[in-house]
Amino acid sequence: MGPKILYLIQGELLRLNKYRVTLVSFLVALIWGLALYFIDDMDILSRLLPLIIQMEVTMMSIIFIGSILFFEKSEQTISTLLVTPISTGEQIWSKVIANTIHLLFSSVLILLVFYFIKEVEVHFIWMLIGIILSLVFHSLLGYVFSYHSKDFTSMLLGVMMFIILLSIPSLLHQFDLAFKGEVWRYILLITPAQASIELITFGFTGKFVLATLVSYVVLISLTVALYFGYVKRAYKTYAIKQGGI
């Protein structure tokens, strides 16, 4: 990474702190941790913990990117950056990387608590890789929701609809309530929610199966396609309009 993007990442991290986004992230992690801490049934805990981590790295990453973009919109700073020698890619990735760093910190905090206190097995290398891939994709997805939302409230509604439509089937499959069997497991892998939960579950079990490989391919492919196919191309239009496309 060049000095410009490192400087931008530092600025984005300071902005996250300025807007209390880092504080909110820490409080959310604390609430999740406390909620799970009092569960003594390890079977239930082993099912819930991956889902909590997934929610942290998917829904929260979209919301935090959206909140920062709307704060910048209110300050009219996005369009100003277009006349600087900073490229569009550097502007986009500085936010994605900063968002990944701060949410990675809160996710790892939850994992460390359960690793040391509840003695939950965690394969940290694989877990970190899975979390980072999920955070990067869903941070880019935050741009898409921001591009097409007039205000923060409408963006939240859009995110909730996305979570309901794409995450609920994975949740039902995870608890074996619906969409049962290996066939549905692979069908649901076309959704980033299922791919994310597979990689996070792999971080706990350490058992590499075909679904794990497919999940890596799905998330990496979706990330590349989303960035080059839409986020980067539509960024200038969004920045110039200072609002939804």
Q: What is the distance between the alpha carbons of residues 51 and 125, in angstroms, rounded to a whole number?
A: 19
The residue written with tokens 């040391």 in the block is: 116
Task: Give the pLDDT of residue 1.
Answer: 61
Provide block-wise average pLDDT over 10 residues at a time, the chain (245 residues). Answer: 81 82 80 78 82 88 89 74 80 94 90 86 95 96 92 88 84 83 90 93 94 96 97 89 57
Task: Give the pLDDT of residue 242.
Answer: 56
Task: Give the pLDDT of residue 198.
Answer: 94
Is 199:138 a contact under the CB 8 Å cutoff? no
Give the torsion sign (CA, 136, 141, 144, 149).
negative
Output the CA torsion 54→57→62→65 (10° steps): 170
pTM for this one?
0.91
Task: Give the pLDDT of residue 79.
Answer: 67
Q: Is 176 helix (H, G, I), strand (E, B) or coil?
A: coil
Contacts (Cβ under 8 Å, ≥6 apart) of 122: 111, 114, 115, 203, 204
- The structural domains of the chain, with segments of one domain joined by +, span 3-241
Task: Give the pLDDT of residue 238.
Answer: 87
Residue 48 corresponds to which tokens in the numbers above? 């819930």
Is 63:156 a contact under the CB 8 Å cutoff? yes
Task: Give the pLDDT of residue 133.
Answer: 97
